[in-house]
Amino acid sequence: MKSFLFKFFSLVGLFFSIISFAYSAETTMRISLQLPLKSHLGQNLLLFKKEVENRSNGEIKVEIYDSAQLYKDKEVPAAVGAGSIESGVASLTRYVGDIPAVDLFYQPFLLNTDKKVRKAVSKGSSIRGPIDNAIKDTGSTVLWWQAYGNAIMLSNGQAIKNPSDMKGKKVRVFGKTLGTFVKAAGGAPTLISGSEQYLAYQRGTVDVGMTGVSGVKSRKLFEVMDTITKTNHGVIEFIVVANTKWFNSLSSKHKEIIIKSAEIAEKDVRDNVAKIEDDAYKLAKEKGMKIITPSKSDIDAFKAASKPVYDDYKKNAGSLGAQLLDAASKL
């Protein structure tokens, strides 16, 4: 009888252990990323994953689906907002359809120092705060912002140092406002997602590429373009968002773990983005790319050509856009 009871309770204990384990591991957070895992945004997600899983003792499992396995960048806002996936990484400009004011960061040469950018993206700032709040209306909650660096120009042969160099050329862009900038400078914008860049350059679909230099490294764009022009005309920001209903369904403990891990991940990528860009420029040079820095007069010519971009923003971004422009002028 004792032997029977021992076996019985042992089996009961094993049963509840299995149930307990299954329960503790049932919170899964899938994150969609269009970039490769080896990119600095991918590495930043791995840091977040490590923090979350360690702090939760495995109660929260983070799964990263990189290289647009599940969704392209442009699809992430709708997919996360609808709850098709728990979380995703999207370029901030992907929200421009719902919130035109987000493209403040692509107003040419507006946030032109690291100090200004850091102030603008700090949590609860007069710029980030209203943007984060507006994104809540899309069904998503912003977890953290991922610094990607400055916007540059890629080309073959001729550098794009001023508007005359862009005239008549087909230019890859990744947002509406950047397209307006290209038109104002005399080029023809073509919206192409990040994951499709390599083939577009290889096939000659466009003459010029607009991207961040870290993408030159992670996507091996040095194989299909030979010149980088450091225009630094815009600030590329990505955001990591979570479906609000899913996030609100979590326990307070799990929410706190995710928020703390997001803070750690955000600080890490922001503090390291300058080095990430430097390393990418170094690699590009080693791979034979020419690195061109436009003169002040060249940049002034781009600024002069950019007036329609600001006019378009003021017209379409509404009261929130006016509020953000005013805040940016005070940074």
Closest among 154, 153, 146 to 223, alpha carbons compared: 154
Q: Indicate the pLDDT class of residue 195, thresholds 50, 70 and 90.
A: confident
- What are the start-end ranges of the H helices in the chain? 2-24, 40-55, 76-82, 114-121, 128-136, 163-166, 176-184, 197-203, 213-218, 244-249, 252-286, 296-305, 307-316, 318-329
Name which residue leads in pLDDT, 195 or 263. 263
Residue pLDDT, tens place only, 100-116: 999 999 999 999 999 99
The answer, yes or no, to whether residue 26 has pLDDT greater than 80, is no
Phi, psi of 4 (to 5 degrees): -65, -45
Average pLDDT of span 158-172: 97
Asked whether the whole model's pTM tops 0.85, one would answer yes
What's the rounded Cα separation, in Å, for the pair 281 and 92? Answer: 24
Q: What is the CA radius of gyration of the chain?
A: 23
The answer, yes or no, to whether residue 22 has pLDDT greater than 60, is no
CATH class of the domain comprising 2-329 = alpha beta
Average pLDDT of span 117-142: 98
The pLDDT, as a whole number, for residue 328 is 98
The pLDDT, as a whole number, for residue 164 is 96
> DSSP of 122-169, one letter per residue?
STT-TTHHHHHHHHHTTTEEEEEEEEEEEEEEEESSS---SHHHHTT-
What's the rounded Cα separation, in Å, for the pair 11 and 13? Answer: 5
How many Cβ atoms sit within 10 Å of the Cβ of residue 113? Answer: 9
